[in-house]
């Protein structure tokens, strides 16, 4: 498949999307503020510490990904 980046990945819809994408053969990068055991047990790459409202956090994530090409982006993180 390819590489999928899912924000808001630690619960609810984001967690389920990570699970299903992983089952379909995607390499999943799960981005969230805080990880949890459910997410950790999926066997996906977890990138915790992401606040999507913070330009600094977004730039830090881009650096950590090291230029990986993202084939699918699901911006699931909510802003309240």
Give the C-alpha separation, 17 to 2, whole Å. 15
Is residue 10 within 8 Å of residue 39, measured between CB atoms?
yes
- Give residue-wise pLDDT tens across range 2-58: 999 999 999 999 999 999 999 999 999 999 999 999 999 999 999 999 999 999 999
Give the C-alpha separation, 57 to 79, whole Å. 15
Q: What local confidence, expressed as pLDDT, does residue 78 receive?
A: 82
Contacts of 60 (CB under 8 A, 6+ apart): 49
Give the C-alpha separation, 6 to 30, whole Å. 5
Statement: the pTM of the whole predicted model exceeds 0.85: yes
Give the C-alpha separation, 4 to 23, whole Å. 12
Annotated domain spans of the chain: 3-75
CATH H superfamily, domain 3-75: NAD(P)-binding Rossmann-like Domain (3.40.50.720)
């Amino acid at each position: 498949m390819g590489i999928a980046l899912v924000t808001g990945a630690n619960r609810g819809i984001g967690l389920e999307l990570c699970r299903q994408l992983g089952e379909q053969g995607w390499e999943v990068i799960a981005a969230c503020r805080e990880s949890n055991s459910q997410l950790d047990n999926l066997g996906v790459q977890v990138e915790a510490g992401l606040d999507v409202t913070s330009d600094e956090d977004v730039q830090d994530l881009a650096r950590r990904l090291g230029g990986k090409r993202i084939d699918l982006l699901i911006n699931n993180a909510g802003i309240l």
